[in-house]
Amino acid sequence: MINILSSHRIYNHPKVKDEVLKYVNKNSKVCVIAFSFFESGFTQETYELSYEKEGRWYIHIIEPFLDLGLTENNFSWVIYKKDSKETAITKINEADVIFFPGGAPDLFVTRLKEQGLFDHLKNIDKILMGPSAGTMIQFDQFHISKDYDYKKFSIHEGLGYINDFGVEVHFRRRKQQKKGIRRMSHLNPRPIYVVYEDGMMILEDNQIIFKHQVIKYYQNGRKLK
């Protein structure tokens, strides 16, 4: 299994592009599971339009991949409530890469369970990637630090691909981020890595093989850096 973790869609960034191309290239079939949207202002119609060709999130997701040699034909899309469990599983099984978009990680997991995809995804062995929320849900459990979207710290179940460390994405040394990291580290003594805005790490069979702008920050309730 390959896990590509990041805060943003920096796959074509000069510092990481060559590493990403070892796993994702013009021959890759990418399945986007588009379940990560926030509920504020949500309607099914506007959501679906945003993932249709030339839609806001459609363009947002595929843009960095075009620089890696992929085209729109490389992508399939699992759309919330539009795809059945059966059509979604077919798209997942046919893909080489599963892409989890950024957004609301807690709602992402809730919808995966609601649509009957959570257990199926837990048992796949593919290339898994996605920024922000798409990184967070790859862990067995993840924490959400208080911020603009979330008014309090919380811990949630993830897909369980990674269980021997945790992450804080979008790390900007904010007070609430440091408090969230410290609290999570006291509850679970495993290491916590911080992923800066242009950070990325790649795991191969649960071993970290590449890091850029990623630092091991906390362990056993103690700051390391």
Alpha-helical regions (H) of the chain:
17-20, 44-51, 56-66, 85-94, 105-114, 118-122, 133-136, 175-187
Q: What is the rounded CA–CA span in Å between residue 122 and residue 135? A: 14
pLDDT tens for each residue of 63-80: 999 999 999 999 999 999
Q: 148 pLDDT exceeds 90?
A: no
Whether the CB-CB separation of 162 and 203 falls below 8 Å is answered with yes
- In this predicted structure, what is the pLDDT of residue 225? 60
Averaged over 107-114, what is the pLDDT?
A: 98
| Domains of the chain with CATH codes | 2-223 (3.40.50.880)
Averaged over 108-129, what is the pLDDT?
A: 97
Least-confidence region, from 10-14, 41-45, 111-115, 168-172: 41-45
pLDDT tens for each residue of 157-211: 999 999 999 999 999 988 999 999 999 988 888 999 999 999 999 999 999 999 9
Q: What is the rounded CA–CA span in Å between residue 199 and residue 7? A: 6
Q: What is the rounded CA–CA span in Å between residue 158 and residue 140? A: 5
What is the pTM for the complete model shown?
A: 0.95
Averaged over 135-144, what is the pLDDT?
A: 97
